[in-house]
């Protein structure tokens, strides 16, 4: 009988014992290892984005420049920022912070958890128009990148409740994944009402916060597979000396060869596997799509709040949507121009003056790799703004944030009504 019981419960007891030993042992990921940080710079793994240990160690180093974005950062080509930085021995290395599905709210949570590691740093932020859909970030994308650790970082860092904090609480409470936690929900309700939760009430979550931090120290390296091999291979296609005319010619050559099986300027593999099987269904399928009114505009304001808090100098890039493809699907280029106008108003009216609007390049050959992602000429055009921004000393920043950008009125405001 004892043997049977041990056979049933022995492995469970052993597993629990090993887990307890692991959590109380001094072992942790060696975040000081340059190889780990270098691999993390191009990883874009979920553990990295939702954790603190590796990301914050990297951001503390001057050489790593945060590049915030989403799926465009994962597409490696000879003109990707990581490739150009390596090939031409620049004094910075992009640290890619984003993945397919990351939007403004996820980026804000990631930034605030970095704290002073972002103090007065430069950064590049790519604003994707497709984030700004009618209902904002979907529950699926939110769930994918929701970090309980970073939520607790924010909660335990509160000294007073601001308009931004009340908005964060409202947004978190709108997602079922968050409200599954009853204790957290009660604290968020307090913040939403403008009240700072007591130390006693917050301490209920302190053990969970410490456990999450320990998990991050132990497991954040899992899945940390960077794109360094692909980056190294891509550098081999570039000329030894950076010359605009030569690089533009090369971008055209690679772009032409890579998009020669369709009339839309889409990368061959993307067209073959993703588009061609659905081509008839996609015709005029986006005529009612609109990016001008969305909760995402207020989520984006949280990002600006964090940049201003840390006095960061930021270059914002607004990419276009492939015009040949938008003509086929019915997506309005006029609407996209109005979207860009609204975003630029939100930026420049608050002192964020470094904005690269590429939306008028929608019909430039080989500017886009597919429907919505920057391609060969697109990344090259972006680099011609990124490189001098990062190399040259920028003027001191003076931001004047406006809480009106958290309002539903702003979210729904038509761009043609802006002064």
Q: Other CB atoms closer than 10 Å to residue 341's CB: what's the count?
A: 16
- Residue 310, domain CATH: 3.40.50.1110
For residue 84, what are the domain limits?
28-141+223-394
Q: Quick check: is 318 in a domain?
A: yes
pLDDT at residue 202, rounded to an integer: 96
pLDDT at residue 106, rounded to an integer: 97
319-335 burial code (b ≥16 CB/10 A, e <16): bbbbbbbbebbebbbeb
The average pLDDT across 358-368 equals 98
Q: Quick check: is 15 in a domain?
A: no
Six-digit token pair at 158? Answer: 């509160």
Contact 342, 293 (CB under 8 A): no
Q: Quick check: is 255 in a domain?
A: yes
pLDDT at residue 221, rounded to an integer: 83
Q: Report the chain's terminal Cα–Cα distance, integer Å.
A: 82
pLDDT at residue 17, rounded to an integer: 39
Q: Quick check: is 249 in a domain?
A: yes
What are the start-end ranges of the E strands in 255-358?
313-318, 355-357
pLDDT at 39 over 50: yes
pLDDT at residue 32, rounded to an integer: 80
- The model's pLDDT over 148-203, given as tens digits with 9 standing for 90+, comes to 999 999 999 999 999 999 999 999 999 999 999 999 999 999 999 999 999 999 99
Total number of domains constituting the chain: 1
Query: Whole-number mean pLDDT of the chain?
Result: 93
Residue 220's pLDDT band, with cuts at 50, 70 and 90, is confident
- The model's pLDDT over 111-149, given as tens digits with 9 standing for 90+, comes to 999 999 999 999 999 999 999 999 999 999 999 999 999
* Total-model pTM: 0.93
pLDDT at residue 341, rounded to an integer: 98
Rounded-to-integer distance, Cα 402 and Cα 410, Å: 11
Q: Quick check: is 175 in a domain?
A: no
Give 169's contacts (C-beta < 8 A, 6+ positions apart).
188, 189, 191, 192
Residue 23's pLDDT band, with cuts at 50, 70 and 90, is very low
pLDDT at residue 22, rounded to an integer: 44
The average pLDDT across 220-229 equals 86
Share of the chain above pLDDT 70, in %: 93
pLDDT at 19 over 80: no
Q: Quick check: is 163 in a domain?
A: no
What are the start-end ranges of the E strands in 76-228?
93-97, 122-126
Q: Quick check: is 207 in a domain?
A: no
pLDDT at residue 222, rounded to an integer: 82
pLDDT at 233 over 60: yes
Closest CA to 19 of 216, 218, 220: 218
Q: Quick check: is 214 in a domain?
A: no
In angstroms and rounded to an integer, the radius of gyration of the C-alpha atoms of the chain is 23
């Amino acid at each position: 009988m004892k043997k049977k019981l041990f056979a049933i419960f022995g492995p469970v007891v052993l597993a629990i014992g090993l887990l307890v030993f692991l959590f109380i042992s001094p072992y942790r990921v060696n975040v000081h290892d340059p190889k780990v940080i270098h691999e993390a710079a191009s990883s874009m793994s979920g553990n990295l984005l939702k954790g603190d240990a590796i990301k914050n160690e990297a951001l503390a180093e001057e050489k790593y420049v945060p590049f915030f974005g989403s799926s465009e950062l994962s597409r490696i080509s000879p003109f990707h920022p990581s490739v150009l930085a390596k090939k031409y021995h620049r004094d910075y290395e992009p640290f890619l912070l984003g993945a397919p599905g990351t939007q403004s709210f996820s980026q804000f949570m990631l930034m605030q958890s970095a704290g002073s590691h972002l103090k007065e740093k430069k950064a590049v932020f790519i604003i994707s128009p497709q984030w700004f859909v009618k209902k904002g970030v979907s529950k699926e994308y939110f769930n994918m990148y929701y970090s309980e650790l970073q939520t607790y970082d924010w909660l335990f860092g509160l000294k007073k409740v601001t308009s931004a904090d009340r908005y964060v609480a409202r947004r978190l409470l709108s997602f079922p994944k968050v409200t599954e936690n009853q204790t957290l929900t009660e604290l968020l309700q307090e913040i939403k009402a403008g009240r700072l939760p007591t130390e006693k009430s917050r301490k209920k979550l302190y053990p969970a916060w410490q456990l999450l931090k320990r998990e991050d120290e132990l497991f954040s390296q899992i899945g940390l597979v960077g794109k360094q091999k692909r980056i190294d291979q891509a550098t081999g296609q570039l000329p030894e000396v950076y010359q605009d005319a030569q690089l533009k010619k090369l971008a055209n050559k690679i772009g032409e060869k890579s998009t020669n099986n369709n009339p839309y300027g889409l990368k061959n593999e993307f067209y073959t596997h993703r588009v061609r099987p659905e081509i008839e269904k996609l015709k005029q399928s986006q005529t009612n799509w609109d990016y001008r009114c969305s909760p995402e505009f207020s989520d984006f304001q949280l990002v600006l709040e964090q940049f201003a808090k840390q006095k960061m100098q930021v270059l914002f890039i607004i990419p276009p949507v492939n015009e040949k493809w938008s003509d086929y699907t019915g997506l309005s280029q006029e609407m996209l121009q109005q979207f860009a106008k609204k975003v630029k108003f939100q930026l420049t009216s608050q002192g964020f003056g470094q904005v690269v609007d590429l939306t008028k390049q929608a019909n430039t050959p080989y500017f886009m790799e597919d429907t919505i992602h920057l391609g060969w000429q697109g990344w090259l055009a972006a680099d011609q703004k990124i490189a001098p921004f990062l190399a040259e000393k920028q003027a001191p920043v003076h931001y004047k944030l406006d809480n009106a950008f958290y309002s539903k009125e702003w979210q729904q405001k038509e761009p043609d009504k802006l002064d």
